[in-house]
Structure 1
Amino acid sequence: MASFAKSSFSAASYAQFRPTYPRSLYNTVLAYHRGPRRQCLDLGCGTGILTREVAKNFDCVLGTDPSTNMIKQAREQSQSQHGNVTFQQGSAESTPELGDGSVDLVVAGQAAHWFTYDLLWPEMARLVRPGGTLAFWGYSDPMFVTCPRASEIMKAYQYDTRPGKLGSYWSMPGRSYVQDKLRIIQPPSADWVDVERIEYDVGTEGRGSGVGKLFMERKLTVGDMKGYLRTWSNYHEWSRANAGASTGGEGGRGDVIDEMFEEIAEGEDVFGKEENEIDIEWGSGLIMARRRS
């Protein structure tokens, strides 16, 4: 999570443009969960999107993140509105302030690909009570479900490693874990049982044409889509390497995101205006497991 932890990263932009999770996803996790709902732990909580929502169903929720910027933003967005939520800077692999077996549910949304699992699994086994739940989920690249050509161009920009593109700026292997729907995450059978995975692969023939259970879809304007892509870690690293670049919206010549959308707009008129809306879906992976009793 090195990019997000840097002082130059804009947690405010992250909070503004990152997608939220639908209630159907939380309901899926809660239907799997058994027993008390006293303490929940949100790992890699970022700006607290997940933390605040799950607090509706638990007595206490602690959100942790290694980024001071993220924790500051999370606290600002939660002031006086969520009395049962606490945010604290810290790593997923160590939460010494919580006692053994004190956690009923541990969650991570779009963060599990950053964790160091040889350290994480012993800590999860310590924290989660017998019968408690672990639920990690992540989403892959957004897709323009009615404009497959636009999706292909965006994918080429995101993963092409040649100069001027964004592919060489990903933190690996973490990004590949997200793209593979977190399948690499395998809860140790000595401590975890009843492992369940729910996935969705985006289709190219319109909304809901994919395979699996769709959790994440949204309409975004072209302008907001640009803002969202500029919250990605690879764009943050690209910006550091291209310090003189400025976006078209800032009056500059444009950055790599502007260039991407100019190419897309050549064949798709809807992308030509910032205010035009487009349908987006994300592929996703949810893994749930129960602490062995």
Structure 2
Amino acid sequence: MPPSPSVEAALDSSTDSQNFFKVEKYDEEYWDAYLTARPNYDDGRFYQRIYDYHKKHNPNPSWNLAHDVGTGPGNVAAQLATRFSKVVASDNNATHLAVAQHRLVQLSRVSFFQAASEDLADHFPNGSVDLVTAAECLPLVDAEVAVDGFARLLRPGGTLAAWFYGRPAFAASGPDAARCQALLDQTFSLAYQQVIRGGGPGAQQGWKRATTRLVSWLDDVGFPAAQWESVERWKWNTHALMCFYDPEVACDIPVERISYIDAARELVVEERDTNFWAARWDVAAVRRFLDVALPGFKAILETAEPEFGALFSQLEAAMGGPSAIHDITWPVVLILATRK
């Protein structure tokens, strides 16, 4: 189903860009809602796993400089500032950086820099960084170029931590949960369809790259042996879907699962843990999450309210009413790697 003219207007996109996640106007309210709706990985345990890896693979680990790539509102950079002496928060979008600067204004340890992930190594000295984090950004970039740049930034023994989470999943099993999940999946796919099928050739290339990467659980991101060692790929809740939408429903882009995992030198661990980043949602929380899943989604839902309203009404009934609470879990992948 092609997007209607009113939906195209709601997207307010004037450029045909492969990077489809960008907030064009300063909108702190959007980022507040975004961080509230998204899973909370700021409880310390997730970051402690990264720090423990950094210590394990470094005889004398340095905590001088961390670089948060694709910082968005700066939530990861803020956490890193509790552990590292200095933090660089970079993003290719000036508006994102303005939001991060405003939110982190009291953190003198954090500096800000505008550049694409693929270009960072051209702006900073080689071997100057102890830790690079890339949260939620690898599906948006040319990973081969970006990962090579991260290797140039990192000092020998430095750590790369890259992660992504996928579509929220009802944690319970049984026919009721399956019905809720099916309706949630249908709603998400319909919303993404409005964006994906409405984009130009550049956006289509971006969506193809992102879809392939998500379907592949980031396995299509390679770590050449000449640059990297001790590569670990941690995956939680692979029974759920990493892609936020069903490709066959949301787009006509053919995708395939690709893997560049080197089984001889990489550790791959899969764990089922429905308490991982657990949340408790009513149907309003589902709506809040989808409102901010991409910039412009709230306007899309409002513009196409009859269709989406019907779906949310069905979901509300399947969940047991507007006040019914359900446990939500997440599919998550975390990649850790050490610079040789």
Aligned counterpart for 1:217 among listed residues 275, 278, 288: 278
Structure 1 partner of 2:188? 158
Cα distance in 2, alignment partners of residues 229 and 107 from structure 1: 25
Structure 1 partner of 2:7? none
Contact 1:142 1:281 in 2 (8 A): yes
Alignment map for 1:92-241 (pairs within 5 Å): 92-95=117-120, 96-146=122-172, 147-159=177-189, 165-167=191-193, 169-170=195-196, 171-201=207-237, 211=272, 215-233=276-294, 236=296, 239=299
CA RMSD of aligned residues (A): 2.7
SS at match of 1:42: strand
TM-aligned CA deviation for residue 151 of structure 1:
1.3
Cα distance in 2, alignment partners of residues 256 and 45 from structure 1: 34
Aligned counterpart for 2:317 among listed residues 261, 266, 283: 266
Please say if 1:7 is aligned against 2:24: yes
TM-score (norm 2): 0.71
C-alpha change, 1:183 and 1:10, in structure 2 (3 Å) is farther
Unmatched runs of 5 consecutive residues or more in structure 2:
1-17, 197-206, 241-270
Q: Percent identity?
A: 23
Unmatched runs of 5 consecutive residues or more in structure 1:
205-209, 248-252
Structure 1 partner of 2:302? 246
Please say if 1:40 is aligned against 2:63: no
Structure 2 partner of 1:250? none
TM-aligned CA deviation for residue 106 of structure 1:
0.4
TM-score (norm 1): 0.81
Aligned counterpart for 2:44 among listed residues 10, 20, 23: 23
C-alpha change, 1:220 and 1:73, in structure 2 (3 Å) is farther
TM-aligned CA deviation for residue 125 of structure 1:
2.1
The CA deviation string for residues 155-177 of structure 1, in whole angstroms up to 9 with x for no partner, is: 123235xxxx5335342331342
Cα distance in 1, alignment partners of residues 92 and 308 from structure 2: 27
TM-aligned CA deviation for residue 153 of structure 1:
1.2
Task: Give structure 1 regions of 4+ aligned residues with deviation exceeding 6 angstroms.
Answer: none
The CA deviation string for residues 63-114 of structure 1, in whole angstroms up to 9 with x for no partner, is: 111222221211111121x221122222111224421100100011111111
Letter in 2 for 1:282: W
C-alpha change, 1:256 and 1:47, in structure 2 (3 Å) is farther
The CA deviation string for residues 21-63 of structure 1, in whole angstroms up to 9 with x for no partner, is: 1421101111110310111111111111111112111111111
C-alpha change, 1:27 and 1:183, in structure 2 (3 Å) is same
SS at match of 1:79: coil
C-alpha change, 1:222 and 1:68, in structure 2 (3 Å) is farther
State the aligned residue count. 269
Letter in 1 for 2:110: V
Letter in 1 for 2:338: R
Structure 2 partner of 1:83? 108
Cα distance in 2, alignment partners of residues 261 and 268 from structure 1: 10
Bigger mean CA deviation after superposition, 47-56 or 111-120 = 111-120
C-alpha change, 1:281 and 1:120, in structure 2 (3 Å) is same
TM-aligned CA deviation for residue 221 of structure 1:
4.2
SS at match of 2:47: helix
Please say if 1:54 is aligned against 2:80: yes
Higher strand share: 1
C-alpha change, 1:59 and 1:84, in structure 2 (3 Å) is same
Letter in 2 for 1:236: G
Contact 1:193 1:291 in 2 (8 A): yes
Cα distance in 2, alignment partners of residues 183 and 226 from structure 1: 30
